[in-house]
Structures are given as structure tokens and as C-alpha cells.
Amino acid sequence: MAHYKTILTKTMKRVKLIFVLTVLIFTTVFGQEKKVVCDCPKTQFAGTKADTTFHLSNGRTIVLCGFKNPKSKPTTYSEFVLAACGQDTIIDFWGAVLTCKLRVNKDTLLVDQLQNLPTGENFNYQETVWTTEKIYFSGQRVVRKLVVNRQIRKYTKAQIQTVLKSYESAKLGLDDSKMEIANKLFIATISGDKKARQYFKEFETKFGTLDGAFAEEYNDLISMIALWDKTE
């Protein structure tokens, strides 16, 4: 009788072990979250093959189709579209002149637009996050919210005085050095200096007629100041 009980006990243990293993296998195979695979809708802006896929914490997926800037660390993108899986239209197109860094924060995709600005030491230029667009879902609807990076490094009073003097002493004629002054006046303006803002407005006619790439760069800075003022 005791021998029979021993055999029965071992048999029950084996049955329990098999049951536990079965549950583990089922959970591993069937319980894992399935990653959605999809491509972008056909557009005139980019191909349909997804270059990068972003999985949000709520199970939604956004794909990017377009150009990945080679050797960029962290990875940046230009001339690309974003699309939500399951939808037949794109979220939007980001042009070739833009440089963006993308990252996921839980249920939100963050698109950081980078600008090369003189925010480093000794007015050195460095890639700086200018705006961040938050893309998330409300039901089936894509929601977008653009915020300006108000943590951009500002100039000290001494640095602002240096910028103002460089503007005041600059000779007539437009060249790259003058556009550097315009960029520094931009940072001095968002740093809160009124004279820098005045000089920035005067810059358009101060050194000659702006045209071509110089006019485009200056107009971009005007738009950036307008956005900065709007979101204060």
C-alpha cells in the first residue's frame, strides 16, 4: 500500500510539472504582444517601405518612410513621412530642409526638430532642439501638439553685449559673417534683450538687400521668433 502511494505521489508531481510547463509554453508563444508590421500609404513625398517603426505603449504603431541621415548619432531623419498603422493617409510630411530626431515616450511619439544655432561655448554652433511635436491618439484620431523648447541655452548679459557690439561695428555688405550675427541676435532676442530684438528687425536692411539663401535663413529666424512669442 505504501509503495502504491509513493507511485501515485510521483505520478501527480509529473502531471503538475507537465501542466506548469504547458502553461509556460502557452504564455510564451501566445501571450507575447504581437508587433504590428505595416508600411506607409503611397504618396508623392516618400516610398512606402517603412524605414523605422515606433511601437507605443498603448499598442498603436507609427511608421516612418523616408531618409535617414547617414552616420548621425543619435539617428536623425530628413524628408520623411509618418503614418499610423491601419490608416490610409499619412500623418504629415517633414521636408528635406528639416533635421529631426524621433523617440517614444510611453503612448506618445516625440518629433524633435533640430536647428544649428550658436548656443555653445564661445558662440559655437551646435544642433539644438528647437521644437518638439507630440503625436498621440485619442481613440482612432491622431492628435498633434507642437511645443517650443524654452530650455534653449540663453546668453548672459556679457554675451549679449558682445553680440550687440559686433552688430554695431560690422561693415556694410552681406556675407556669412553677417548671417552669424543675425543668428546671435536671434538667441539674444529670445534671451530677453530688447535692443537685440530691435537690431534683429533692422538687420533686414542694415547691410544690403537680402536675397537667396540669406533671405531664406533670415525669414526662418523671423518665423522662429514669432513662434517663440506666440507660445510664451
Dump pLDDT digits (tens) for 69-95. 888 888 999 999 999 998 999 999 999
**Beta-bridge mates of residue 114:** 99, 129
Looking at the whole model, is its pTM more than 0.85? no
Chain centroid to Cα 7, Å, comes to 65
Q: Tell me how long the chain is.
A: 232
pLDDT at position 33 over 50: no
Contact 91, 135 (CB under 8 A): yes
Q: Which long-range contacts does 28-33 make (Cβ < 8 Å, 24+ apart)?
A: 33/59
- pLDDT score recorded for residue 95: 95
Element (H, E) at 62: strand 61-68
Percentage of residues in the chain with pLDDT exceeding 90?
Answer: 79
The whole-angstrom separation of Cα 48 and Cα 90 is 11
- pLDDT score recorded for residue 12: 55
- pLDDT score recorded for residue 18: 44
- pLDDT score recorded for residue 13: 52
